[in-house]
Chain A
C-alpha cells in the first residue's frame, strides 16, 4: 500500500500599504504601470530600502504559526532571467529566513492533526506579463509587492489533510489581516511537493506541482499526482524529479521543467541591504498584538454569548464576521444575532457577493431590527424583510418600517375591539370552540389579524381572543 508524502509551499501577498523595497503603493487592480518607480522597475542606480511593516507582518505570521523568529536575518539574490522580473533576480531569503521551526494544528473530521513549518521567508513579487494578439506587455504594478513564502515539512499525506491544513492556514492569515488571501487573484498561491512510497521503505522522488489556483485544484492535483506516481512505479518506471503544471479543467498535469534543465539560482547575499536585527522586545510587542485566532474565539463565543458551537464555527470562519457578530451581540439578543447572521446574512452575502461588513446593514442597524422584533414591534417576517432591504440600501430602519406601515398593532384596546366584532360575527365558530375544536380558535385569531390588515401582533391577538372567549359576559 502506497502512501503519499506531501509538503506545501504557500505564498501570500502581504497587504502592506507600500511595496517591499520602495514607497510605491501596493494595490491590486489599478491602471497598468501606475504604481512604479525607479526601484521596482529595476532602473540603473536604484536601490532597495526595506519596508519595516512587511518585516513586522512576516514576524506576526511566524508567531501565528508557532515559529522561532531569527534575531538576525538578511536578504539574498536569486538569479534567473524572466522578462517580468525587473532586476532579473528576485530578492529573497535563501540562507537565513526570518522565521523557522513552526507547527500548526488543524482539524480534519473532528480529529486534531499537526504539520511542521520549516521556514517562512520574505521576498518580492514580479510584474505580470499580459499576452495579446499584438504582442506581450508587462504590468509592473505587482513588481516589488511583498510576499511571504511558508514552507511546511513534508508531513501531510492526503488531499483532505492538505486542504484542511490550507484552510486553517488561510483562516489564520485572514485573522492576522495582513493578506487578502484570494487564490483567484493570486494573493494566495500554493505549490505542492509530493512523493509516494510504501511506509516501510525509503522516501520516493518528489515532484513539484505548480499553478494551483483553488483548494479544489490542490485536492485534485494531489489525487492525480499520487495515482500517476504509483502507476509509474507499478509499471517498473522511476519517478523523475521535475516541476509539473496541473490543468484543473482537464484533470492532468504536464512537465514544466525537469531537474536537469533546472536553473542554478546563484543565491548570494544582497549587498544593498544590511542584515536586519530583530530584538526580543520587537517580537514581544508583535506577539502582544496578535489577534485571538478562530479556534479560541469559537470557544469563547459559545460560553460568553451562549450560542451553539456550530453557529460559532461559522461565525469565526471569518474574522470580520466574528467582529460584526460581537458588535451586534453587544446591542441586542445574542442568540437572535447569531441566528440572523448564520441563517440570513451569510446566505445574502453569498447571493450578492457583498461582504456583510461592506453592506449597508451596519451592526447598529441589525441590532435595531432585532430589538424591534424581540419587543414585538415588528413581526419576524418584517424583521427579515427589513434586514434584507437594509443590506442593499442605505435605509433608516424605523423610517422604512413606519413608511411601509410594517409596525405591528400592539394597542390592546384596538385589538380587543377587532376581536370582539370577529367573535360576534362568527357565532357558529365560537360554538365549535366551545365544543372543543381547537382549529376554531386559530380561525378566530386569523380573522382578527386579517381585520387589522395583517399588522396586529399575533401574541396580543392570541391573548385578547383567549380572554374574550373565556369570559362569556363580555360577548
Chain B
C-alpha cells in the first residue's frame, strides 16, 4: 500500500512508533512527484536537497523521541505566493519568475519550528488572480480526476498535490475562495480561517483585507492540526489576532440539535444540477446526524460579487504597485528613462488577468469614483458583516455548495468575465465578512469530477465550523476516493 495514502496524523503515528522515518516519507513523496507531476504541473519549484537534509534531521529527532510537533517530519507543499527565504517565490508570475525572498513568511517559520518538511512550491493563478489555476506564467495546473479539466484556483497546485497524494498537506491562500474552491474541484478539504487568525506576514498580497493563508488536506482533522501550527504567534502583521483555543478542541463535539442555515439565494441561481443534488445529499447527512436545517434569505448576498471585486481589485491595484522593476523582479531590457522602464516592466511582467484587475481597481478608487464604487462597496461589506453576525445568533453554521459547478474544461478561453467572476459567488462572502469557512468533498458528477460542500461560522469560531465538517466526514467516504491516475 502506498504510504502516502495515509493521513498526516496516521503517518505521524507511524513515525512515533518508529515504523517509518521522515526521510522514507520524503523519498516516497519525491518519487511520486517525479513520476506524476509532469502531468499535473502542480509544482513550480521542487526542493529535493533541502527537504532531504531536513528529513534526516527529523529522523534523528524521531529516533531519539524528541519530535517537535505532531507533524514533525511530515512533508508539505507551499503555495508559491508565500515567501520562503532563499527559495524562489514566483507568485506564478513572470514579474517574480526569478525572485528569491530574503526572509521567511511567519507561517513558514511556524512550519520549520514544527519540524515539517517543505518539499516544493506550488503552481497558482498569477498573484492569486483567477479561479482555474490557468493564469500562471508557468502554465496551467491539471486536475488529477481529469487532466483536461481545471484544478480550480487560485491554489490549484496545492489542491492537486494533496488530491493526487503527492503530499499529505499543503498551504494555500484564500482571498475570495482560492483555497476552498480548488479543494472542492479536486476532492480534498480546504480551510480558510477567520480573518486575523493566521499571520499574513510574508504572504504576497493580493487583497490585504481578504487574504488569509489556509490549508489543504485529505481529511479535515489533518487540516485542523495544521491550522494549529500555522496560526501561531506573530508580531509583524498588525491584523493578526490568532485563535486563542486553536482549531482542534471541538473535533469530537456533538453536533446533534445544532441548527444549520442554508441561504436560499445560493440554490436559486445558476447552480449545476449535479452539484445541487450532491449538496442536498450532504444536507440529508447533516439531518441524519441530528442537525436541524433552516433556509434563510439574505438580501446583501446579491451584491457580494461586485462588492468583492471592487474592494479586492482596489487593494490589489496598489498592492501590486511595488512591482516596478526598480528594486527586484522583472525589468524590461530596453527603456528610455525611469518611467518608461517602470511602464515596460509592468506591461511585460504582468499577465492579462492581473493587468485587468489592476485597471479595474485603479478605476474604482480614482477621486471621481471613490464614492460611487469603493465607498459603496465598503458599505455593503459592513452591512454583510453585521447581517452574518445576526445570522449566527440563529444558526450554528451556514452550509452551501462551495462552487456552483464542478471543474470546467481547461484551455477554453472564458470570454464571459461576469460568469467567471460569478463562480466565486459562494466563497467570497466569507472573505468579505472575515468568517471562518471550509470546503469538504461531498460527491462526484457523472463524469467523475469532485463536488464540495462549504461550512461557514461566526468569526473566531473556527473550531466549531470544523466540528461540523469532522462529523460529516466520519459519516461519509467521498474524501477517500482517489483520482485514478494518481494511484
Interface residues of A (CB under 8 A from B): 38, 41-50, 77, 79, 81, 83, 86-89, 136, 138, 264-268, 271-274
| Bound-complex Cα distance A48 to B201 (A) | 9
Contact pattern, B 193-211, Cβ under 8 Å of A = 1, otherwise 0: 0000000111111011100
Extra contacts, 6 of them, besides A45-B101, A264-B366, A271-B239 (Cβ < 8 A), are A41-B327, A43-B83, A44-B89, A81-B321, A266-B367, A271-B315
Rank and list the top 3 A-B pairs by shortest CB-CB distance, nearest first: A88-B321, A271-B209, A271-B208
Asked if A274 and B328 sit within 8 Å, CB to CB, the answer is no
Contact pattern, B 303-347, Cβ under 8 Å of A = 1, otherwise 0: 000000000001101100111101110000000001100100000
Which of B6-14, B230-238, B260-268, B466-474 lines the interface with chain A?
Answer: B230-238
Chain B's closest residue to A37 (CB) is B103
Contacting residue for A43 out of B238, B317, B328, CB 8 A: B328
- A selection of 21 A-B contacts at a CB cut-off of 8 Å is A38-B101, A38-B103, A41-B327, A44-B91, A45-B83, A45-B89, A45-B203, A47-B200, A47-B236, A79-B317, A81-B342, A86-B322, A87-B322, A88-B324, A264-B367, A266-B317, A266-B366, A271-B208, A271-B239, A272-B237, A274-B239
B460 surroundings in chain A (CB, below 8 A) = none
B82 surroundings in chain A (CB, below 8 A) = 45
Contacting residue for A266 out of B102, B207, B365, CB 8 A: B365
Min CB distance A334 to B, Å, is 51
Asked if A43 and B101 sit within 8 Å, CB to CB, the answer is yes
Task: Given A43-B103, A50-B238, A83-B326, check contact A77 B318 (CB 8 Å).
Answer: yes
Q: Does B370 contact A (CB under 8 A)?
A: yes
Interface of B, helix, strand, loop or mixed by DSSP: loop
A88 surroundings in chain B (CB, below 8 A) = 318, 321-322, 324
| Bound-complex Cα distance A46 to B327 (A) | 14
Min CB distance B174 to A, Å, is 16
Contacting residue for A46 out of B201, B314, B362, CB 8 A: B201
Asked if B201 and A47 sit within 8 Å, CB to CB, the answer is yes
Q: Does B426 contact A (CB under 8 A)?
A: no
Min CB distance B393 to A, Å, is 25
| Bound-complex Cα distance A89 to B358 (A) | 14
Contacting residue for B238 out of A48, A77, A266, CB 8 A: A48
Contacting residue for B237 out of A47, A79, A87, CB 8 A: A47
Q: Does B40 contact A (CB under 8 A)?
A: no
A83 surroundings in chain B (CB, below 8 A) = 324, 326, 338, 342
Asked if A268 and B374 sit within 8 Å, CB to CB, the answer is yes
Chain A's closest residue to B200 (CB) is A47
Min CB distance A54 to B, Å, is 14
Task: Given A43-B103, A44-B99, check contact A273 B238 (CB 8 Å).
Answer: yes
Q: Does B220 contact A (CB under 8 A)?
A: no
Contact pattern, B 220-255, Cβ under 8 Å of A = 1, otherwise 0: 000000000000000111110000000000000000
Chain B's closest residue to A78 (CB) is B318
Min CB distance B111 to A, Å, is 15
Contact pattern, B 448-479, Cβ under 8 Å of A = 1, otherwise 0: 00000000000000000000000000000000
Asked if A49 and B235 sit within 8 Å, CB to CB, the answer is yes
Min CB distance A81 to B, Å, is 6
Q: Does B105 contact A (CB under 8 A)?
A: yes
| Bound-complex Cα distance A450 to B366 (A) | 87
Min CB distance B481 to A, Å, is 36
Asked if A42 and B209 sit within 8 Å, CB to CB, the answer is no
Chain B's closest residue to A41 (CB) is B327
Asked if A45 and B238 sit within 8 Å, CB to CB, the answer is no
B74 surroundings in chain A (CB, below 8 A) = none
Asked if A136 and B328 sit within 8 Å, CB to CB, the answer is no
Min CB distance A255 to B, Å, is 19
Min CB distance A117 to B, Å, is 25
| Bound-complex Cα distance A79 to B316 (A) | 12
Most buried by B among A45, A83, A87, A268: A45
Most buried by A among B82, B91, B238, B342: B238
A50 surroundings in chain B (CB, below 8 A) = 238
A43 surroundings in chain B (CB, below 8 A) = 83, 101-103, 327-328
Interface residues of B (CB under 8 A from A): 81-83, 89, 91, 96, 99, 101-103, 105, 200-205, 207-209, 235-239, 314-315, 317-318, 321-324, 326-328, 338-339, 342, 362, 365-368, 370, 374
Chain B's closest residue to A82 (CB) is B338
Task: Given A44-B99, A45-B202, check contact A272 B238 (CB 8 Å).
Answer: yes
| Bound-complex Cα distance A41 to B238 (A) | 18
| Bound-complex Cα distance A44 to B83 (A) | 8
Asked if A272 and B204 sit within 8 Å, CB to CB, the answer is no
Min CB distance A271 to B, Å, is 4
| Bound-complex Cα distance A268 to B81 (A) | 24
Contacting residue for A38 out of B81, B102, B368, CB 8 A: B102
| Bound-complex Cα distance A79 to B370 (A) | 14
Asked if B339 and A81 sit within 8 Å, CB to CB, the answer is yes
Chain B's closest residue to A89 (CB) is B318
Contacting residue for A44 out of B204, B209, B238, B314, CB 8 A: B204
| Bound-complex Cα distance A265 to B239 (A) | 25
B102 surroundings in chain A (CB, below 8 A) = 38, 43
B362 surroundings in chain A (CB, below 8 A) = 266
Chain B's closest residue to A266 (CB) is B365
| Bound-complex Cα distance A41 to B322 (A) | 10
| Bound-complex Cα distance A267 to B202 (A) | 24
Most buried by B among A41, A83, A268, A274: A268
Asked if A272 and B239 sit within 8 Å, CB to CB, the answer is yes
A48 surroundings in chain B (CB, below 8 A) = 238
B342 surroundings in chain A (CB, below 8 A) = 81, 83
A136 surroundings in chain B (CB, below 8 A) = 338
| Bound-complex Cα distance A268 to B83 (A) | 26
Asked if A49 and B318 sit within 8 Å, CB to CB, the answer is no
Chain A's closest residue to B196 (CB) is A274
| Bound-complex Cα distance A87 to B324 (A) | 9
A38 surroundings in chain B (CB, below 8 A) = 101-103
B239 surroundings in chain A (CB, below 8 A) = 271-272, 274
| Bound-complex Cα distance A13 to B366 (A) | 29
A44 surroundings in chain B (CB, below 8 A) = 83, 89, 91, 96, 99, 101, 204-205, 322-323, 328
Min CB distance A355 to B, Å, is 38
Chain A's closest residue to B127 (CB) is A44
B368 surroundings in chain A (CB, below 8 A) = 264
| Bound-complex Cα distance A30 to B236 (A) | 25
Chain A's closest residue to B95 (CB) is A44
B201 surroundings in chain A (CB, below 8 A) = 45-47
Min CB distance B104 to A, Å, is 10
A47 surroundings in chain B (CB, below 8 A) = 200-201, 236-238
Chain B's closest residue to A270 (CB) is B208
Chain A's closest residue to B343 (CB) is A81
B367 surroundings in chain A (CB, below 8 A) = 264-267
B338 surroundings in chain A (CB, below 8 A) = 83, 136
Min CB distance B308 to A, Å, is 14
A274 surroundings in chain B (CB, below 8 A) = 238-239
Task: Given A42-B327, A45-B203, A266-B365, check contact A79 B236 (CB 8 Å).
Answer: no
Asked if B374 and A89 sit within 8 Å, CB to CB, the answer is no
Asked if A268 and B204 sit within 8 Å, CB to CB, the answer is no
| Bound-complex Cα distance A49 to B236 (A) | 6
B99 surroundings in chain A (CB, below 8 A) = 44
Chain B's closest residue to A84 (CB) is B326
| Bound-complex Cα distance A298 to B396 (A) | 68
Chain B's closest residue to A138 (CB) is B326
B83 surroundings in chain A (CB, below 8 A) = 43-45
Min CB distance A40 to B, Å, is 11
B236 surroundings in chain A (CB, below 8 A) = 47, 49
B328 surroundings in chain A (CB, below 8 A) = 43-44
Min CB distance B205 to A, Å, is 7
Min CB distance B154 to A, Å, is 16
| Bound-complex Cα distance A115 to B96 (A) | 51
A138 surroundings in chain B (CB, below 8 A) = 326-327
Min CB distance B332 to A, Å, is 14
| Bound-complex Cα distance A267 to B366 (A) | 8
